Structure 1
Amino acid sequence: MAKTQTRRIGIFLMLALVMAATRLHHFSALPDASWGVFFLAGFWLRGSARWAFPLLIAEAVLVDFFAITGAGLDFWTHYCVSPAYWTMPVYFGALWFGGSWLARHQSGLRPSTLGLAAVALVVSEAVCYLISNGSFYWLSASVPLPRSAANWFTNLGDWYLPFLGTTVLYVGIGAALHVGVTLLARTLRGSSQPGLSH
């Protein structure tokens, strides 16, 4: 995890860049990284939620605005911008909380941390998905009437695995980077100690 404010800002900028590049769909082969970004931000930027979380939310809205209006559509009447859209801080907050919880309870590069990471990711992603999908299903005028719990459960099942897979992909990339940087830092610290250089 980041220790200094400079590192935190660097990590924030990296995550913001990844989210902007994928959320805008500049590269159609790359799925939206937003869910993974919020989980990783909760982990790496724990303790910085007062500034980092609202800035990432504002970025998500701005990127959506530019993507929608850039396609020649009206932002306020777009099917994605329903009353459910404004639950974004709640469902992204679930992912942030999951990453932050993991940061608080992890024990470094150990197998137990991998288990905690899996639990934190699956639970927080499921909560995020339920709020995101549920709010859209029940609040959006884009969903045809009549609505029913049975149809909602079908809809949940149709989209859950793709959202989970994308989130796991990006968090896995972030975890690999975290492990690599941690091991590199240990190696550099060890080689700089007196008597350990050759």
Structure 2
Amino acid sequence: MTFAPTRKQWPILVALMLIMLATRYHHIGNLLHLKDASMGIFFAAGFWLGGTFALPLLMLEALLIDWYAISMAGVSDFCVTPAYSMLSVAYAVLWYGGSWYARRHYAPKLATLVPLAAIATVSCVASFVVSNGSFYWFGGRYANPHFAEYVDRLARYLPSFVTVALLWIAAFAVAHAFALWIAAQRGAGSTRA
């Protein structure tokens, strides 16, 4: 990925990075009562910024936020295990889900909300299975991991994870629709002048 974002994509990238900073770093996110938007951001970034170097840049930002939170702000390092590197795969699943939707299904029509919901849901579930599964099976935090316990953890944590990610994706979709509406209003205003 060597392609730089376009002039129109840079503000989107900066906005997504600021949202990640505000929600992933829990001292700020809790103050604002916002859930971590990281997973929704990777899906939205794939949609808006696919084909650019934004994926590794966002991954680096997530890593730096985690490093700062753990080493400087006293956040627990419980989740930092050998499986932490699998977060890059979990992020990529979301990124490529958003990118695939943009290339194959997106049109500025309400009908494309159905494939958006389906692709976003599948991407979120797959991302969770990668991140949570790698932590459980390869993270070294559970002495005797077994399938029944993993299924229990999956049932306990998957709904919350997917719901938060999908709510952020829905918020980004609303922002996208609003931006299209503003652009259409400006276009209509310029044709009247």
Global fold match (TM > 0.5): yes
In structure 1, the residue matched to 2:24 is 23
RMSD over aligned Cα, in angstroms?
1.5
- The 5 Å alignment of 1:67-146 reads 67-72=69-74, 78-143=77-142, 145-146=143-144
Match of residue 149 from structure 1: 147
Give 1:144-183 correspondences, 5 Å limit: 145-183=143-181
> Which letter maps to 2:117?
A
Q: Which residue of 1 aligns with 2:57?
A: 55
Pairing partner for 1:44 from 41, 44, 48? 48
Residue 64 of structure 1: which of 63, 66, 74 is its match?
66
Provide closer, same or farther for how the CA distance between residues 190 and 135 of structure 1 changes in structure 2, counting only shifts above 3 A: same
* Structure 1: runs of 5 or more not aligned: none
Name segments (4+ residues, structure 1) moved above 6 Å.
Answer: none
What amino acid is the match of 1:37? I
In the alignment, the residues of structure 2 paired with residue 131 and residue 57 of structure 1 have an alpha-carbon distance, to the nearest angstrom, of: 16
SS of equivalent to 1:27: helix
Pairwise CA distance, 1:112:
2.2
> TM (normalized to structure 1)?
0.89
Maintained 8 Å contact 2:29/2:36: no
TM-superposed deviation, 1:70: 2.0
CA distance in 1 between counterparts of 2:189 and 2:8 reads 22
Q: Which ranges of structure 2 fall in alignment gaps of 5 or more residues?
A: none
Task: Tell me the distance in 1 between the aligned counterparts of 2:88 and 2:106.
Answer: 29
Question: How many angstroms does 1:107 deviate by?
Answer: 4.1
Percent identity of paired positions between Structure 1 and Structure 2: 36
1:70-120 deviations in Å (ceiling 9; x for gaps): 2346x8xx2211011001111100000110011112342223210110011
C-alpha offsets along residues 32-57 of structure 1, whole Å, 9 cap, x if unaligned?
Answer: 11000000000011221xx1110100
What TM-score results when the alignment is normalised by the length of structure 2? 0.91
